[in-house]
């Protein structure tokens, strides 16, 4: 079960803040116009990895566009991270920055899980989003990854895009399923401050009710296609869950390295400020973010389909729900937003959409 973790599990996240171009919806910390990852950045990551003595069970290359790393750079970073045998090693990739040779190189370096930003099977939509690939490129990249020996193949997609329809979702699901994806992450488009979409909103954005309909349709269709929901935005056949992200949702230890990366170690949260030149020069220091408390635990556990175990909440944090909170839980179950068996509280897909409102009342 995903949320009955081995409490000793530990993960490392490496942030790669470089991208070929800036997508119009993206607010991640990454420099556009990049064709490769500078050696100085690689060296800065290696310095930080050398200071860590704990062997990870998961290693995640996120970004940005980590597939801009060369296979040799990836191999050196994996060696420096010194993962435990059987570790999950994930690399995020854009379909148009990989070739069969590079994919074979990543696989030979030790990467065993690859995650492609596919977003949509509509070329017009991809263009609107500022993506630099097409649906055909995405299908070719997934097929090439399979041929390179990746058994764990992930596709990220977006829902409720401008002018979105259930037919666009169906085409996108067919692409991912047809290419043998073992894991799908489906995110509702959010127009975030600082993005091109925020400055110039695209026409025909679905309103929140319509966006919720697209989400519920996706959850249902993904389940029918064999991709069971295990987290708000994550779906897979049993046994293909992303072990690294499960560390986050289960409040286990992870070390984040690189500008904008976050860590949580022993319940203490830290982050690196978003400043790549200072990180490369060794001038950047991590800042304290706070302590992971019972509220954080509740929020993160309720993201998972397996929900919040009240006995674990009490054992870990000494917290029990008050009669007022239990009354709210009952109301949520009566309205179809949650299930509760007296010990485990789980949000339904309808509850996950309004998770913030449920949590505001609960916490």
Contact with ligand SF4 (CB under 6 A): which of 12, 14, 16, 19?
Answer: 19
Contact with ligand SF4 (CB under 6 A): which of 16, 23, 135, 313?
Answer: 23
Contact with ligand SF4 (CB under 6 A): which of 12, 14, 26, 68?
Answer: 26
Phi-psi group of 26: left, alpha or beta (phi > 0 → left; psi -120 to 50 → alpha; rest → beta): beta
Q: Which stretch binds ligand SF4 (CB under 6 A): 26-34, 36-44, 274-282, 342-350?
A: 26-34
User: Which C-beta is closer to ligand SF4: that of 189 or that of 338?
Assistant: 189
Shortest reach from residue 200's CB to ligand SF4, in Å: 16
Taking the C-alpha atoms of residue 111 and residue 108, their distance in angstroms, rounded to an integer, is 7
Q: Binding to ligand SF4 by residue 30, rule CB under 6 A? A: yes
Taking the C-alpha atoms of residue 61 and residue 284, their distance in angstroms, rounded to an integer, is 20
Contact 215, 270 (CB under 8 A): no
Contact 338, 332 (CB under 8 A): yes
Exposure on the CB side of residue 12, measured as CA atoms within 13 A: 27
Compute how many residues bind ligand SF4; rule: CB under 6 A. Answer: 11
Q: Binding to ligand SF4 by residue 155, rule CB under 6 A? A: no
Tokens encoding 100: 């069969």
Q: Binding to ligand SF4 by residue 34, rule CB under 6 A? A: no
Contact with ligand SF4 (CB under 6 A): which of 2, 11, 56, 64?
Answer: 64
Find tokens 């290696």 and name the residue. 46
Closest to 2 (Cα-Cα) out of 219, 228, 187, 225: 228
Q: Which stretch binds ligand SF4 (CB under 6 A): 21-29, 102-110, 165-173, 181-189?
A: 21-29
Q: Binding to ligand SF4 by residue 63, rule CB under 6 A? A: yes
User: Which C-beta is closer to ligand SF4: that of 26 or that of 261?
Assistant: 26
User: Which C-beta is closer to ligand SF4: that of 22 or that of 221?
Assistant: 22
User: Which C-beta is closer to ligand SF4: that of 30 or that of 181?
Assistant: 30
Taking the C-alpha atoms of residue 164 and residue 160, their distance in angstroms, rounded to an integer, is 5
How distant is the alpha carbon of residue 12 from its chain centre?
A: 14
Q: Binding to ligand SF4 by residue 157, rule CB under 6 A? A: no
Taking the C-alpha atoms of residue 257 and residue 263, their distance in angstroms, rounded to an integer, is 8
Closest CB to ligand SF4 belongs to which residue?
A: 26
Tokens encoding 316: 């870990």
Contact with ligand SF4 (CB under 6 A): which of 5, 22, 55, 325?
Answer: 22
Strand partners, 14: 61, 257
Contacts of 203 (CB under 8 A, 6+ apart): 162, 163
Question: Residues interacting with ligand SF4, by CB under 6 A?
Answer: 19, 22-23, 26, 28, 30, 63-65, 94, 117
């Amino acid at each position: 079960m995903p949320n009955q973790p081995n409490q000793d599990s530990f993960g490392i996240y490496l942030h790669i803040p470089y991208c070929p171009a800036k997508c119009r919806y993206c607010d991640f910390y990454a420099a556009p116009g990049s064709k490769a990852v500078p050696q100085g950045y690689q060296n800065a990551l290696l310095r930080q990895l050398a200071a860590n003595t704990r062997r990870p069970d998961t290693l995640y290359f996120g970004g940005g566009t980590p597939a801009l790393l060369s296979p040799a750079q990836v191999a050196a970073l994996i060696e420096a991270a010194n993962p435990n045998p059987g570790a999950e090693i994930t690399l995020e990739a854009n379909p148009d920055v990989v070739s069969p040779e590079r994919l074979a190189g990543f696989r030979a370096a030790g990467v065993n899980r690859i995650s492609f930003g596919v977003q949509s099977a509509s070329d017009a939509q991809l263009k609107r989003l500022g993506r630099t690939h097409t649906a055909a490129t995405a299908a070719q990249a997934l097929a090439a990854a399979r041929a390179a020996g990746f058994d764990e193949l992930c596709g990220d997609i977006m829902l409720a895009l401008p002018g979105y329809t259930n037919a666009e979702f169906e085409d996108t699901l067919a692409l991912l399923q047809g290419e043998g994806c073992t894991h799908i992450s489906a995110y509702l488009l959010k127009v975030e401050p600082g993005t091109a979409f925020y400055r110039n909103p695209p026409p025909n954005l679905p309103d929140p009710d319509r966006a919720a309909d697209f989400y519920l349709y996706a959850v249902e269709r993904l389940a029918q296609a064999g991709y069971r929901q295990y987290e708000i935005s994550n779906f897979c056949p049993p046994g293909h869950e992303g072990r690294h992200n499960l560390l986050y949702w289960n409040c286990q230890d992870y070390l984040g390295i690189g500008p904008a990366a976050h860590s949580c170690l022993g319940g203490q949260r830290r982050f690196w400020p978003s400043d790549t030149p200072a990180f490369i020069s060794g001038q950047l220091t991590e800042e304290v973010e706070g302590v992971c408390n019972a509220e954080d635990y509740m929020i993160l556990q309720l993201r998972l389909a397996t929900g919040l175990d009240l006995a674990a909440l009490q054992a870990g944090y000494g917290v029990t729900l008050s009669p007022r909170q239990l009354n709210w839980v009952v109301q949520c179950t009566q309205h179809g937003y949650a299930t509760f068996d007296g010990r485990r509280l789980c949000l339904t897909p309808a509850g996950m959409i309004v998770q913030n409102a449920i949590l505001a009342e609960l916490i």
